Homo-oligomer: A and B are copies of this chain.
């Protein structure tokens, strides 16, 4: 009763007797709800079995990090890791297990240390960037000049930099999608070249990371044309902040830097294994990660997890039967020092048709979003993929873009691709540091990854039929 009365009163006030009705705004466009197709029962069953029971991925990443440990591209340790990979992939029952070898220059870290000489003598924790020039064994000394951003360094007159050790800071924030790494990685990627061209004798950069541990973040950089190589290194974040505080005191700051390194010619390779499809002429589905790691940790999240997750997913398909399309698993070599493995695969196979390519190389935290770029004629497949993943808490993302590290150039080149985005909120706490070790991987999150990759492969495989072994069992 009361409500009816009030409604009448409101209506009366909105259109008072004898007045023109007030104009009504155009209704806002409703955001169209995304209706996704039903998930085939066999895809859902495969996905959920992996989610609950997968042990292949943990077995691979535990084994690789324990029995090999660090495996920097081009080193003897990476060669041992390739042997380990071949043995493991054969033992799991993969076919056509092989190594495609290539040559590369191998940069190797030597002794490294940093010390403030004045005004407040103390050591700082740092690590050289890949492709840093070497100091003499006894190191070098110089005055430190600090810049809060790369832009500040670029704007500085050469005279302010010449003969000095440049320090560059930045303000990379923590993000879920890791999008800060591009822009805020500039001090590492471009900083050394800019400092060198202005006449600096060395450059130290606040680690491209989001933690506060005394573990500096390695990473590669390369000197651009016209920039002669100088020693370059990352300070651990607490040490970068310490150096900022010391510089703020306004007294001249001098530093001694030892950053010894060497370069030699070496070799690496891509380890490749397959689940053969029923149609050997159908374009392959490529999944993988990179086998090499930085030298400081054991490469658990970068990228032991990636090869483990994608291999486990392919193994779940193999266990279920024979897909129509061949699934090719690639453990790329020497990604960290410049996508050597990815570029080599592209040189050898990049012109062959691929049904889709996808790489896992962003840690081991849960997948939160799926992007794809399968082409305008394959939207139904992209939607089927989104549908298969949504029950894992995965947001349907773009259907016209995807990215990846080793596979990035091939995506640029037009190959169809899928991107399963891992949550990167904590990734840059650990990335490229000594802390990249097995204990950082949560087995439950790892299984969610395997479930997503299994569902993706099942969706794109063209249908799985019982193989000889599976048929016999029935």
**Interface residues, chain A, CB within 8 Å of chain B?**
62, 65-70, 77, 119-123, 125, 212-215, 237-238, 241-242, 245-246, 249, 297-298, 433-435, 437-440
Given A66-B246, A120-B69, A246-B66, do A439 and B297 touch, yes or no (CB 8 Å)? no
> How far is the CB of A167 from the nearest CB of chain B, in Å?
15
Taking CB atoms, residues of chain B closer than 8 Å to A215 are: 213-215
Shortest CB–CB separation between residue A109 and chain B, in angstroms?
12
Chain A to chain B contacts (Cβ below 8 Å), 18 pairs: A66-B120, A67-B119, A67-B120, A68-B122, A69-B120, A69-B121, A69-B122, A69-B123, A70-B122, A77-B122, A212-B435, A212-B437, A213-B215, A214-B433, A215-B215, A238-B437, A242-B437, A242-B438
**What separation, in Å, do the CA atoms of A435 and B66 have in the docked complex?**
25
- Residues of chain B within 8 A (CB-CB) of A65 are 242
Query: Once the chains bind, are A238 and B125 in contact (CB under 8 Å)?
Result: no
CA distance A246 to B438 in the complex (A): 13
Can you list the 3 inter-chain pairs with the closest CB atoms, starting with the nearest? A69-B122, A214-B434, A238-B437
Nearest B residue to A434, CB-CB: B214
Chain B contacts for A213, CB-based, 8 A:
213, 215, 435
Q: Which residue on B lies nearest to A440, using beta carbons?
A: B212
Given contacts A66-B242, A66-B245, A69-B123, 6 further A-B contacts (CB under 8 A): A66-B249, A212-B435, A213-B213, A214-B297, A241-B438, A242-B438
A297 CB contacts on chain B under 8 angstroms: 214
Name the CB-closest residue of B to A66.
B245
A247 CB to nearest B CB, Å: 11
Contact A241 B439 (CB under 8 A): yes
Q: What's the Cα separation between A214 and B438 when bound, in Å?
A: 12
Inter-chain contacts of A120 with B (CB < 8 A): 66-69
> Considering residues A119, A214, A440, which has the most beta carbons from chain B within 10 angstroms of its beta carbon?
A214
CB-CB nearest in chain B for A122:
B69
B residues in contact with A245, CB < 8 Å: 62, 66, 438
What copy number does this chain have within its complex?
2
Q: Which B residues are CB-close (under 8 A) to A237?
A: 439
| Chain B nearest CB, measured from A173 CB (Å) | 16
A433 to B438, CA, bound (A): 21
Q: State how many angstroms separate the Cβ of A262 from the closest Cβ of chain B.
A: 18
Decide: B70 and A437 in contact? CB cutoff 8 A: no
Chain B residues lying within 8 Å of A298, measured Cβ to Cβ, are 122, 242
Instruction: Collect the chain B residues with CB atoms within 8 Å of residue A66's CB.
Output: 120, 242, 245-246, 249
Q: How far is the CA of A245 from the CA of B120 in the complex (A)?
A: 43
CA distance A123 to B77 in the complex (A): 12
Residues of chain B lying within 8 A (CB to CB) of residue A119 = 67
Q: Report A264 CB to chain B, min CB distance, Å.
A: 19
Q: How far is the CA of A120 from the CA of B67 in the complex (A)?
A: 5
Contacts of A122 in B (CB 8 A): 68-70, 77, 298
Closest to A243 in B: B66
Q: Choose among B123, B242, B435 the residue that contacts A214 (Cβ–Cβ < 8 A).
A: B435
- Contact with A212, one of B70, B125, B439 (Cβ below 8 angstroms): B439
Min CB distance, A233 to chain B, in Å? Answer: 17
CA distance A41 to B44 in the complex (A): 68
Measured CA separation A247–B125 after assembly (Å):
31
Residue of B nearest to A84 (CB): B120
Q: A437: which B residues are within 8 A, CB to CB?
A: 212, 214, 238, 242
| CA–CA, A65 and B433, complex, Å | 24
CB distance from A426 to the nearest CB of B (A): 13
User: Distance (Å) between the CB of A41 and the closest chain B CB?
Assistant: 39
With A and B bound together, what is the CA distance between A70 and B239 in angstroms?
A: 13
A118, chain B: closest CB distance, angstroms: 12
| Residues from chain B with Cβ under 8 Å of A435 in the complex | 212-214, 238
A246: nearest chain-B partner, CB-CB = B66
Docked complex Cα distance between A102 and B313 (Å): 66
A435 to B433, CA, bound (A): 14
Closest Cβ of chain B to A251, distance in Å, is: 10
With both beta carbons as reference points, the residue of chain B lying nearest to A436 in the complex is identified as B214
In angstroms, Cα B433 to Cα A215, docked, is: 12
Closest chain B CB from A428 CB (angstroms): 15
- List residues of chain B with CB within 8 A of the CB of A123: 69-70
Distance in Å: Cβ of A249 to nearest Cβ of chain B: 8
Contacts of A434 in B (CB 8 A): 125, 214
Contacts of A69 in B (CB 8 A): 120-123, 242
Complex interface: chain B residues within 8 A of A249 (CB)? 66-67
